[in-house]
Each structure stands twice: as C-alpha cells, then as structure tokens.
C-alpha cells in the first residue's frame, strides 16, 4: 500500500531528524561543559574576586543545575532543546563573569593599564 509506505518513510525521516538533533545537542552540551569548567577553574584560582562575583557565580551554578534537571525531566525534544539552550547560556555567562572579574582585578591593580583601556 503506497500510503502506508509514505507514512513509514515520513516517520523514518522524522526519527532520523530527531537523532541528528540529539547528536547536535550532545556536542553543544560537551562544549558548554568545558566552558563551565573553565569558568569555575578561573573563579577558584582567582584571589581578587569580589563577593558580588562569588554570589553571581553561585547563582549561575544553581541555574546550571536547574537546567540539567529540566533536561532530565523533559517530555519532548523541544523541552530538551530549551534546557540545553539554557545550559549553554548559563555556562557562557559563568565564563564571562569569571573573565570579567579577573580583568577588573588586574586593571584595579595596574592603574596605568586601566587608563589605556
């Protein structure tokens, strides 16, 4: 039956697209995990971070954990995509916070360099 064959082909293409999306998401998560670890390492290794930076880093770590929980609870591919997007965003925000805080500390300790920036 031609209509059954068409329906099976459509289902197969949809499954293939979902598998490709999951592979892409896995790569995004791996990259975001590295970004998060670099940010956490920078924060842990810095002696010049202000309390506000530590507070914000704690908030971002909490948001990262919540996005992981959301991905695990997801009932649909779109929910997984949403959770992974949040995880990537929070990972990048954590790294940006760490690098900005370190740069601020370095510039604070070097007024001539700060004047040039």
The residue with tokens 């740069």 is 103
The proportion of the chain whose per-residue pLDDT surpasses 90, expressed as a percent, equals 67
Q: Look at the block and give the residue holding tokens 């002696």.
A: 47
| Ranges of each domain in the chain | 25-108
Q: 3-class SS at 49?
A: coil
What's the CA gap between 65 and 39, in Å, rounded? 15
What is the chain's pLDDT, residue by residue, as a tens digit (117 residues)?
789 899 999 999 999 999 999 999 999 999 999 999 999 998 888 877 888 888 999 999 999 999 999 999 999 999 999 999 999 999 999 999 999 988 888 888 877 776 776
Overall pTM > 0.75:
yes
Structure tokens at 34: 């590295």
What pLDDT score does 31 carry? 94
The residue behind tokens 């697209």 is: 17
Q: How far apart are CA 77 and CA 74, in angstroms?
A: 7
């Amino acid at each position: 039956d031609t209509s059954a064959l068409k329906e099976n082909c459509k289902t197969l293409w949809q499954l293939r697209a979902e598998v490709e999306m999951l592979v892409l998401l896995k790569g995004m998560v791996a990259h975001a995990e590295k970004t998060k670890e670099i940010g956490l390492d920078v924060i842990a290794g810095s002696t010049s971070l202000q309390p506000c930076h530590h507070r914000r880093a704690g908030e971002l770590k909490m948001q990262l954990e919540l996005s992981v929980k959301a991905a695990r609870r997801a009932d649909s591919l779109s929910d997984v995509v949403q959770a992974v997007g949040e995880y990537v965003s929070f990972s990048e925000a954590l790294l940006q916070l760490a690098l900005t805080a370190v740069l601020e500390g370095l510039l604070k300790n070097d007024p001539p360099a700060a004047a040039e920036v």
